[in-house]
Amino acid sequence: MIFDFDKEIDRYNTSSYKWDVAEKMFGEKGVLPMWTADMDFRSPTFIIDAIKRRAEHGIFGYTVKTESYNEAVAGWMKRRHNWNIEKDWICFSPGIAPALSFIVQAFTQPGDKIVIQPPVYYPFSQVIEKNECELVCNPLKFENGKYVMDFDDLRTKLDSQVKLLILCSPHNPGGRVWTKEELIELGEICFEHNVLVVSDEIHFDLIYKDHTHIPFASLSEEFTQNTIVCTAPTKTFNLAGLLTSNIIIPNRHLRETFMETMNKNFLVFMNSFGVAATENAYIYGDEWLDQCIDYLQQNLDFLINFIESNIKELKVIKPEATYLVWIDCCELGMDDKSLEQFLLKEAKVAPSLGYVFGPGGEGFIRINIGCPRSVLEEGLKRIEKAVNSYTLVKP
């Protein structure tokens, strides 16, 4: 079956955070939203049909995971990621960001330290600070056109107060797919210092050619017992509104501790439609996903060629995964607030601003290419026009 990713779909008046909230959030009319990480592709028919069947039943009572649901999740992990998991390792959360907060609550006390590797997905720092823990930054280094981990710096920062390290794998916003060697070194350092690794792998399905995602917990028995892996079908199949993620915890003690915290927050039941959508996505989704990745690759190639040809002041950090592209705008010579206002008011485009991702994000933007090519082209043309006008009058 051939799936159509070129079709533009009007998302206004659908309670869309990305589209309906843009004007209020950015204070500017007519901006093209290219920021938050959901795609503008229609979910595949087999998922829509599964939701329709569930809706036609007409009763939407308290809902739990089923045996078939667990089998579908385990089958996907084995088929797509060569990772054999036990079905009882799978825990529910209404999302990965909430799961991170519950993990912090479960495994730390106020004042404990938690390590992140900026520039990185900004809710990491928010869940740490909102739960009254101390944020420890182990900044990534930018070498030879890509981000790498600074293991020497990490070793100096792991003292007895550090309880967790939150890993972003694949990395958002930099797009890295960490190699086996990188993950092993990170894991060995954390194991040696008794630091629990929380691996956010929500983008794990969206990997470009010549790269392979490795689930962190799959690398050794030591890592299996010292890792919580956060996964979801939401980025892959555009299901964020169904509030369904799978937190995979092989270590029984860690799993029971996590579930105790979930129960304290009365998060026991699942979204009825999320269960149906996830199960069918993981049973029937391979062909759709393969075509989606091919389309994203073409979008990425289009963006790189367009910027290299038409907006030479910008530099693309080529991602190895995700539909999010990290772009260096430092050559424009603007501070972060000026860059934000320039893009909103002159280009009428709303990307994510790099400074919100923490140290190292200054002067960057993140653009979402999970959209029809016509939408991507429109956004790039708006930026091109604004930059050309700016450089003509720039001192």
Give the pLDDT of residue 273: 98
pTM of the model: 0.96
395: pLDDT strictly greater than 60 = no
Peptide bond into 395 cis (omega under 30): no
Structure token digits, residue 294:
């091919």
Describe the crossing of helices 373-393 and 286-310 by its angle, rounded to 10 degrees.
Answer: 20
What does the alpha-carbon distance between residue 234 and residue 179 come to, in Å, rounded to a whole number?
24
DSSP class of 343: I
CA atoms 65, 71, 72, 74: torsion sign: positive
Split at pLDDT 50, 70, 90, the class of 393 is low
Quick one: pLDDT at residue 391? 82
| pLDDT tier for residue 139 given thresholds of 50, 70 and 90 | very high
- Residue of 32, 9, 18, 34 whose CA lies nearest to 299: 34
Q: Is the pLDDT of residue 375 over 80?
A: yes
In tens, the pLDDT along 193-226 reads 999 999 999 999 999 999 999 999 999 999 999 9
CA–CA distance, 93 with 344 (Å, rounded to integer): 35
**Arithmetic mean of pLDDT, 87-110:** 98
For 170-182, what is each residue's pLDDT tens digit?
A: 999 999 999 999 9
Nearest to 171 by CA among 193, 199, 151, 191: 199
* 60 token code pair: 């939407």
DSSP string, 76-95: HHHHHH-----GGGEEEES-
Q: Rounded CA gap, 208 and 320, in Å? A: 6
Q: Output the pLDDT for position 374.
A: 98
Identity of the residue numbered 310: N
Please give the average per-residue pLDDT across 264-280, as a whole number: 96
Cβ(317)–Cβ(311) below 8 Å: no
CB 239 within 8 A of CB 233: yes
Closest C-alpha to 349, from 7, 40, 17, 26: 26
Rounded-to-integer distance, Cα 184 and Cα 214, Å: 11
H or E element at residue 227: strand 227-231
| Token representation of residue 17 | 């955070």
178-200 burial, b for 16+ CB within 10 Å, e for fewer?
beeebbbebbebbbeeebbbbbb
Given this model, what pLDDT does residue 1 score? 86
What are the C-alpha distances in Å from 253 to residues 80, 110, 117, 164, 216?
Answer: 27, 21, 27, 16, 19
Residue type (1 letter), 335: D
DSSP β-bridge partners for residue 63? 270
User: Is the separation of the CB atoms in 255 and 290 below 8 Å?
Assistant: no
- Running DSSP on this structure, what letter comes out for residue 216? G
Look at residue 364 in the predicted model and tell me its pLDDT.
98
The two beta strands, 113-116 and 134-137, are parallel
Residue 349 in contact with residue 34, Cβ under 8 Å?
yes
Cα dist. 309→262, 304, 314, 329, 343 in Å?
51, 8, 10, 15, 19
Q: Is the distance from CB of 277 to CB of 51 less than 8 angstroms? A: yes
Over residues 278-297, the mean pLDDT reads 98
pLDDT for the residue numbered 394: 64
Q: What is the arithmetic mean of pLDDT over 89-116?
A: 98
Q: Residue 153: pLDDT above 90?
A: yes
pLDDT above 70 (res 294): yes
Question: How distant, in Å, are the alpha carbons of 49, 50, 67, 320 from that of 56?
Answer: 10, 10, 22, 41
Bridge pairing between strands 324-328 and 315-317: antiparallel
Closest to 47 in 3D by CA, of 292, 331, 300, 367: 292
Q: Mean per-residue pLDDT for 99-126?
A: 98
